[in-house]
């Protein structure tokens, strides 16, 4: 029996074994939970589970220090983090903002910017394997990029696609920042839900949620400033929500201790993820922070979503059929997912498996 046994859930225990729907108050939508279906036979696609052993420097990598990128520019021989403008930006500054309407057909120009952030000069590291001070530097860059782009744009989306099956184009540890002038779909939904809650209840939705989950059956990691929980309404099997426990609207507002605490809990969460199936766990993660220039933002609570696709070591969940046509459905209860994550070790298995050592020094071959 794992830690779940100590964390009973008297309220929802009755529903847990039966098909039921759960409400997602952030997106104002429902998810169907059908526990037990994980045992059905699977003869479909299997994902490769072995984590490749990577060199610390790859002469063919367009993100490694000193290498030439796809557009011909050369990266500096950076030794910590490195930010550059995406050579294939989906949003660009100075594009038209014209709006066109013709009956039901509407379109508008969208101005913005796309940056790429290399987390480390080391090709073979991941956030989970980087030293704490290096992860803290990434937190600082996320905050600085948000502040800088926020002077000009409304929605700043900081995110990371990790692993081939999430569409990461390169194993070199990196993330992206997209900034735009409109509120994208999920941002608009979360903004509206948090605003309504604030108006109705007088408090921040996610702070109330964090208070309700602390120490409970869905909590995975906690420290003074942060809580990691598999949300009650999670869509992906091992989805996680990382939420600040004090009122804070955006990354740049985080103080020194909160940033250190964030680096610490990030590594703890990502280590548990990697240890869950003994492989470098793929996911998309991203920050949701208050939009800029909208006036009052006391309804917003800073948080990050971790959306990993794997259901088992080499079987991914596909969002198809019912999910695409009706509503999201999950097979594994969030409580069980959280218990498995708590049971996974907090010490990275890399050491036994010949994964890279936690040391950021760039080998002499780089350049
Ligand atoms: P992803 O691995 O999450 O796709 O992020 C890598 C980004 O890096 C991707 O958006 C950009 C791609 O456009 N890129 C460059 O800007 N320059 C390059 O030389 C290759 C990739
Ligand atoms: Zn590289």
List, for residues 237-246, the tens digit of each pLDDT value: 999 999 999 9
Among 174, 288, 303, 348, the one annotated catalytic: 174
Return the CATH number of the domain spanning residue range 185-343: 3.30.428.10
Q: What was the pLDDT predicted at 349?
A: 80
CA pair distance 295, 62, nearest whole angstrom: 40
DSSP state of 61: -
Q: What is the mean pLDDT of residues 36-44?
A: 67
Say yes or no: CB of residue 314 within 6 Å of ligand 1.
no
Decide if 108 contacts 97 (C-beta within 8 A).
Answer: yes
Say yes or no: CB of residue 227 within 6 Å of ligand 1.
no
Decide if 171 contacts 355 (C-beta within 8 A).
Answer: no
Query: Which of the listed residues 89, 117, 157, 169 should we mutate to test ligand 1's pocket, taking the one with most ligand atoms within 8 A of CB?
Result: 169
CA pair distance 333, 234, nearest whole angstrom: 9
Q: What was the pLDDT predicted at 364?
A: 38
Nearest CA to ligand 1 atom 20: 70
Q: Does pLDDT of 290 surpass 70?
A: yes
Cα-to-centroid distance, 62 and ligand 1 (Å):
9
Q: What is the dihedral of CA 36, 340, 204, 267, to 10 degrees?
A: -150
Confidence of residue 109 (pLDDT cuts 50, 70, 90): very high
Longest dimension (CA), the chain: 63
Confidence of residue 1 (pLDDT cuts 50, 70, 90): very low
List, for residues 183-211, the tens digit of each pLDDT value: 999 999 999 999 999 999 999 999 999 99
Q: Does pLDDT of 345 surpass 80?
A: yes
Query: Which of the listed residues 123, 170, 174 should we mutate to test ligand 1's pocket, taking the one with most ligand atoms within 8 A of CB?
Result: 170
Nearest CA to ligand 1 atom 17: 87
Confidence of residue 42 (pLDDT cuts 50, 70, 90): low
Question: For residues 5 and 39, which has the higher predicted lDDT (pLDDT)?
Answer: 39
Q: What is the mean pLDDT of the chain?
A: 91
CA pair distance 274, 76, nearest whole angstrom: 31
% of the chain with per-residue pLDDT over 90: 79
Q: What is the mean pLDDT of residues 253-280?
A: 97
Q: What is the mean pLDDT of residues 264-287?
A: 96
Please report which residue ranges of 237-316 form alpha helices under DSSP H. Answer: 256-277
Decide if 310 contacts 277 (C-beta within 8 A).
Answer: yes
Say yes or no: CB of residue 62 within 6 Å of ligand 1.
yes
Confidence of residue 226 (pLDDT cuts 50, 70, 90): very high
Looking at the chain, the domain(s) classified CATH 3.30.428.10 span 82-180, 185-343
Confidence of residue 90 (pLDDT cuts 50, 70, 90): very high
Q: What was the pLDDT predicted at 181?
A: 96
List, for residues 309-332, the tens digit of each pLDDT value: 999 888 899 999 999 999 999 989
Taking the CA of residue 84 as reference, the ligand 1 atom at the shortest distance is 16
Residue at token pair 């991203």: 286
Say yes or no: CB of residue 89 within 6 Å of ligand 1.
no
Cα 346 off chain centre by: 19
Q: What was the pLDDT predicted at 201?
A: 98
Cα-to-centroid distance, 122 and ligand 1 (Å):
17
Q: What was the pLDDT predicted at 236?
A: 97
Q: What was the pLDDT predicted at 43?
A: 65
Say yes or no: CB of residue 168 within 6 Å of ligand 1.
yes
Catalytic residue flag (residue 305): no
Q: Does pLDDT of 365 surpass 50?
A: no
Q: What is the mean pLDDT of residues 140-145?
A: 98
CA pair distance 75, 63, nearest whole angstrom: 7
List, for residues 12-27, the tens digit of each pLDDT value: 778 878 899 999 999 9
CATH superfamily of 82-180: HIT-like (3.30.428.10)
């Amino acid at each position: 029996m794992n830690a779940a046994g100590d964390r009973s859930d008297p309220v929802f225990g009755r529903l847990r074994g039966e098909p039921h729907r759960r409400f997602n108050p952030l997106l104002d939508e429902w998810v169907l939970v059908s526990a037990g279906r994980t045992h059905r036979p699977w003869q479909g696609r299997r994902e490769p589970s072995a984590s490749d052993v990577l060199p610390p420097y790859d002469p063919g990598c367009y993100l490694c220090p000193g290498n030439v990128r796809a557009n011909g520019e050369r990266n500096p021989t950076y030794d910590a983090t490195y930010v550059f403008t995406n050579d294939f930006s989906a949003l660009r500054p100075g594009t038209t903002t014209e709006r066109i309407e013709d009956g039901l057909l509407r379109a508008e120009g969208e101005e913005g910017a796309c940056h790429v952030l290399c987390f480390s000069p080391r090709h073979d590291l991941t956030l989970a394997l980087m030293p704490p001070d290096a992860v803290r530097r990434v937190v600082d860059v996320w905050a600085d990029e948000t502040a800088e782009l926020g002077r000009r744009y409304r929605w700043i989306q900081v995110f990371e696609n990790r692993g081939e099956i999430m569409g990461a184009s390169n194993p070199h540890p990196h993330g992206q920042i997209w900034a735009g002038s409109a509120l994208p779909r999920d941002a608009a939904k979360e903004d509206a839900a948090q605003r309504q809650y604030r108006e109705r209840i007088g408090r921040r939705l996610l702070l109330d949620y964090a208070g309700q989950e602390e120490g409970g059956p869905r909590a995975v990691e906690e420290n003074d400033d942060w809580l990691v929980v598999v949300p009650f309404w999670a869509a992906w099997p091992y989805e996680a929500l990382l939420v600040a426990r004090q009122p804070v609207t955006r990354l740049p507002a985080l103080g020194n201790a909160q940033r250190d605490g964030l680096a610490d809990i990030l590594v703890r969460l990502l280590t548990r993820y990697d240890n869950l199936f003994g492989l470098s766990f793929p996911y998309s993660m991203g920050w949701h922070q208050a939009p800029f220039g909208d006036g009052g933002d006391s309804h917003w609570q800073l948080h990050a979503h971790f959306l990993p696709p794997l259901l088992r070591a080499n079987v991914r969940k596909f969002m198809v059929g019912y999910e695409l046509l009706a509503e999201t459905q999950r097979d594994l209860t969030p409580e069980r997912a959280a218990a498995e994550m708590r049971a996974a070790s907090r010490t990275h298995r890399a050491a036994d498996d010949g994964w890279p050592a936690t040391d950021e020094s760039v080998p002499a071959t780089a350049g």
